[in-house]
Structure 1
């Protein structure tokens, strides 16, 4: 099957990386171990879903393939552009972790060139590591669980390198777009057809009632409170969008980090106290309830 293709170990190792990821995720899920959030999950707080899809399906395949795989094409001008775009990527990441990986990558390029291309396989691996690493920060690897997500980007980086080497950069872009598009479709299905269940959780002083809403719901998003501020009403809004409003009304501490378990998911919330006191007295309880319900991390 692969007689006429080069560097087939890239494809095999890439598939193995995905297989290992699925295996580890299945084990952690079976053991009931909570999977930690990763920093890029917070993109749901900052972007509209539509723009996120455009970035994932169009911009990312175009720019990332040029930046990471363009260096392995035969065209010298494309290799130069690839390196420039890669430097821009690293600069915009504002990550010392990504910068450290870039230094290692450049060192590997230098060693490979000085050795007469004898370390090309090491360079390919380092390229995939850099591609995977730029999606994360050093803090994402503070736990063993936090490291397994990188297997997806590492495996995809290897597969895209194999496609570039054997079929060209355009084919790699198309495959990258297809892969990201499939992920976006799965995310959209989860967001558009959520559970219709009404949820209720409570603590000593606080009660939270909520329901998931479809992302294409035409109703407007609203945030309001009762006259004595013992009840908050959040309608058709993601947690990421509601958080700044909760900060403005002193119902949570400003600067606290909430990472949504399901980015872009919209909810109806009714948050109220069972003692007629204002909700803001129990901001910590609210945060703990949302974490207990695994809505945030």
Structure 2
């Protein structure tokens, strides 16, 4: 197989990246190192799971392959389109970090052209680095979960480049869609078959009782309070949606810290009540910290 294909080191390095990823996960687990969440909420607070699947399995493979791997096709119009779509990506997720990566990538393109394509390997690596880095921020590189996630993106970028060079852009799109679809299936299984354990946690003024609920159990959720407002009930609801409803009736301003879900799309039955019969609204910041301590949000 490898005798008939080009740039096989891309495939080998990509597989090695995933092997290192697995090794790091085993080391972190053995050392008891928690995975701090990546700094960017990539999912969007209003995004449904169905739309997330469509974006991940159809939209992302199509546009990301054009943006990142289209430059390595023989069609000139596709190479030009690649840069245009890439600039759109940078604009939508703008940060100085992503801009710096783009400038380094453009520099590698320039060096490759000036050297008569003798530096094509540098360009290929920089393309995979850009693909990995644009999904995150500089801060993610110093967290354990960030390193693992970025390694996965980098390895996948190398493998997709190898597929594009040897089998064409369409095959890369199909492989990208299959990979994302597999991840979506694993996420859905985790959402549909959560832990049945019931949890209780307390702070100075609040107590919460909560349980994870199967995602497809019901499409109906509720957000209610007692008339005395000292007890809040969430039924079959995501926490980020509950946060929006809570803000409407609390002293928190929209500029305060959001509830970013630690487990995306997970639904809960949650009861929050005060220990002194005061209104739950009085302790919005304490509720945020209590949910954060339970690693339900970050």
* Range moving further from structure 2, 47-56 or 84-93: 84-93
Match of 1:76 in 2: 76
What are the Cα deviations for residues 188-234 of structure 1, in whole angstroms up to 9, with x where unaligned? 01111112222211223211011111212225121111111110011
Match of 2:120 in 1: 120
What are the Cα deviations for residues 85-141 of structure 1, in whole angstroms up to 9, with x where unaligned? 111111111222111111111111011101100100000000000001111122323
Match of 2:203 in 1: 203
Deviation at 1:143, TM superposition (A): 3.9
What are the Cα deviations for residues 230-277 of structure 1, in whole angstroms up to 9, with x where unaligned? 100111111111111222221656421332111000111110012211
* Range moving further from structure 2, 282-291 or 103-112: 282-291
Runs of at least 4 residues of structure 1 off by over 6 A?
A: none
Match of 2:270 in 1: 269
Whole-angstrom CA distance in 2 between matches of 1:271 and 1:253: 20
Residues 47 and 145 of structure 1: CA distance in aligned 2, closer, same or farther (over 3 Å): closer
Match of 1:13 in 2: 13
Match of 2:162 in 1: 162
For structure 1, the 5+ residue unaligned runs are none
The alignment's TM-score, normalised by the length of structure 1, stands at: 0.95
The alignment's TM-score, normalised by the length of structure 2, stands at: 0.95
Contact 1:225 1:232 in 2 (8 A): yes
Give RMSD over aligned pairs.
Answer: 1.6
Whole-angstrom CA distance in 2 between matches of 1:65 and 1:142: 27
* SS at structure 2 position matched to 1:212: strand
Contact 2:218 2:236 in 1 (8 A): no
Whole-angstrom CA distance in 2 between matches of 1:49 and 1:197: 23
Deviation at 1:289, TM superposition (A): 2.1
Report how many residues are paired: 297
Match of 2:231 in 1: 231
Deviation at 1:145, TM superposition (A): 5.2
What are the Cα deviations for residues 52-89 of structure 1, in whole angstroms up to 9, with x where unaligned? 00000000001000110010011111111111111111
Match of 1:188 in 2: 188
Deviation at 1:281, TM superposition (A): 2.6
Residues 269 and 144 of structure 1: CA distance in aligned 2, closer, same or farther (over 3 Å): closer
Contact 2:38 2:145 in 1 (8 A): no
